[in-house]
Structure 1
Amino acid sequence: MAETAAGTGTGTDWRAWQESWDRQQEWYMPDREERFRVMLDMVEDLVGPEPRVLDLACGTGSITDRLLKRFPKATSTGVDLDPALLTIAEGYFDGDERITFVTADLKDPEWVRKLPYDQYDAVLTATALHWLHNEPLAALYGQIAGLVRDGGVFMNADHMIDSTTPRINAAERARRHAHMERAKAAGSLDWSGWWALAAEDPVLAGPTAKRYEIYGEHADGDMPSPHWHAETLRTAGFGEARAVWASPSDTLLLAVK
């Protein structure tokens, strides 16, 4: 099911675009799959194997793809504003009744009214909310708290920077960027390169042009510390919140209602 215009019926290889997006994201985050594994482990442990999930800022549906493969009886609502990534998601999941896509701006206070359900067992997001500044992110966390049922969970896997450790941060960044440069020299696509290909595709060219009108090259948000996220989620109404996984650059923050 879909509430946005899908590029289906065109002969486009949506699986290839989905896999291409995954490879591009892995260029930045080589441990991306481990993040997803732990995220789904915690979903199963806390809300069971048949969850109703809100895939927040879903992009091409990376979380939903792994969710439905692991939990065939799960259902998912994918929410995003990016017309190009939603076009890929809708093409890739075309015909799957377990997934509904909604076009919405998370900075719009009324975005929750577009959702098909009032409550979810789990709200999941990854590598997306760093596009928001702290004030709108705190407001969003308040809305998420209202969507998660009692005993349900929210998880955010993203860049969360502890500004009190500048030497550690600098060393981690230097190593990560050295790895990225080696991978790029071997042929890996970065963010700009991937979007350049999308702009040349006859089906994705229009949606890609629209996404640049919305976002520009990349939004300029904040990346507060895991402690900030945990405290803000508790203030928003979650009973518990802490990191359940971390790499040198990223954190998976889990909150329980």
Structure 2
Amino acid sequence: MAGRTSRVLRGHGRGRANVTTVGTGTDWAAWQESWDRQQEWYMPDREERFRVMLDMVEAFAGTAPRVLDLACGTGTITARLLARFPEATSTGVDLDPALLTIARGTFAGDDRVGFVEADLKDADWTAALPYDSYDAVLTATALHWLHTGPLTALYGQLAGLVRDGGVFMNADHMTDESTPRINAAERAQRHAQMDRAKRAGALDWADWWQLAAQDPALAAPTARRFEIYGEHADGDTPSATWHASALHAQGFTEARAVWCSPSDTLLLALR
């Protein structure tokens, strides 16, 4: 069953956290690839965004950084981090049991990587982390699941985790409501491209989760995932200006966009 699923997917300070080996018969690389393709359907310039993110990691933390991969999902950022910086270490934190299953399967046996299951809305989630501080905290396409109140509180917690001179970077949908006509035109053009790709066989969010629910290694964690989140969390997408202001207010010294597309922004905050 795992082999058949894999072929379908390819078509379309306190020590280390434990890394768990799961589902040794499952092709985790195929699941990683299919997740990337699904996400690229929404964000075709996703890899460029990651490249700039890692450029900034190197600029502020060198080539052997200690990184917190926040709301890590399948470990997308961690995979790119270690490919570029083999001496880096990464702690991935997420609540999604299905995506964490893929991440743990992908990095099983790699002592540079650890994963923590935690809810970022919990006041004490940082207590589960293996280190007291990080050179860089990185996140992508995740924090829009939070409303601005919990997000502001999270930014305050991150200010306590990032070392002096370290960085936090958030790559996400950041909407400027002051430009409604530009927003509408960009959205229409982007969705036309997405429709064409869908007709050519691209997987969307719902398609991908349907496949995950059919895989023996992912069926149970996928069911738990939908019990936790439902179809999709109802968060906020404030502007890059809002994010920068909130980060300043929570203890970061500088904050601004270092990359943007018509719909997304990579915002960097310096501690």
Q: TM-score, normalised by structure 1?
A: 0.98
Match of 1:156 among 154, 170, 175: 170
2:212 is equivalent to residue 198 of structure 1? yes
Q: Is contact 2:67–2:91 with CA below 8 Å preserved after alignment?
A: yes
Residue in 2 that maps onto 1:223: 237
Match of 1:8 among 23, 26, 45: 23
* Offset from partner CA, 1:138-168 (integer Å, 9 cap, x none): 0000000000000000000000001111001
Supply the distance in 2 between the matched residues of 1:3 and 1:215 (Cα, whole angstroms): 25
Supply the distance in 2 between the matched residues of 1:76 and 1:142 (Cα, whole angstroms): 21
Supply the distance in 2 between the matched residues of 1:46 and 1:66 (Cα, whole angstroms): 17
Q: How many residues align?
A: 256
Supply the distance in 2 between the matched residues of 1:240 and 1:5 (Cα, whole angstroms): 37
Residue in 1 that maps onto 2:37: 23
Identity %: 75
Q: Is contact 1:79–1:101 with CA below 8 Å preserved after alignment?
A: yes
2:102 is equivalent to residue 119 of structure 1? no
Give 1:48 shift: 0.7
2:185 is equivalent to residue 171 of structure 1? yes
Match of 2:145 among 111, 131, 135: 131
Q: Is contact 1:123–1:155 with CA below 8 Å preserved after alignment?
A: yes
Residue in 2 that maps onto 1:235: 249
Residue in 2 that maps onto 1:85: 99
Secondary structure class of the residue paired with 1:206: helix
Residue in 1 that maps onto 2:118: 104
2:67 is equivalent to residue 47 of structure 1? no
Q: Is contact 2:20–2:105 with CA below 8 Å preserved after alignment?
A: no
Give 1:8 shift: 3.3
* Offset from partner CA, 1:67-125 (integer Å, 9 cap, x none): 00000000000000000000000001111000000000000001000000000000000
Give 1:7 shift: 2.3
Residue in 1 that maps onto 2:9: none
Supply the distance in 1 between the matched residues of 2:84 and 2:209 (Cα, whole angstroms): 29
Supply the distance in 2 between the matched residues of 1:62 and 1:5 (Cα, whole angstroms): 17
Supply the distance in 1 between the matched residues of 2:37 and 2:119 (Cα, whole angstroms): 26
Supply the distance in 2 between the matched residues of 1:232 and 1:215 (Cα, whole angstroms): 25
* Offset from partner CA, 1:162-207 (integer Å, 9 cap, x none): 1111001101110111111100000000000000000011110000
Give 1:46 shift: 1.1
Q: Is contact 1:24–1:191 with CA below 8 Å preserved after alignment?
A: yes
Give 1:47 shift: 1.2
Q: Is contact 1:4–1:103 with CA below 8 Å preserved after alignment?
A: no
Secondary structure class of the residue paired with 1:92: helix
Supply the distance in 2 between the matched residues of 1:232 and 1:148 (Cα, whole angstroms): 16
Q: Is contact 1:238–1:255 with CA below 8 Å preserved after alignment?
A: yes
Match of 1:246 among 246, 260, 267: 260
* Offset from partner CA, 1:10-55 (integer Å, 9 cap, x none): x100000000000000000000000000000000011111100000
Q: Is contact 2:19–2:107 with CA below 8 Å preserved after alignment?
A: no
Q: Is contact 2:213–2:223 with CA below 8 Å preserved after alignment?
A: yes
Please list every run of 5 or more consecutive structure 2 residues that lacks an aligned counterpart in the other structure: 1-15
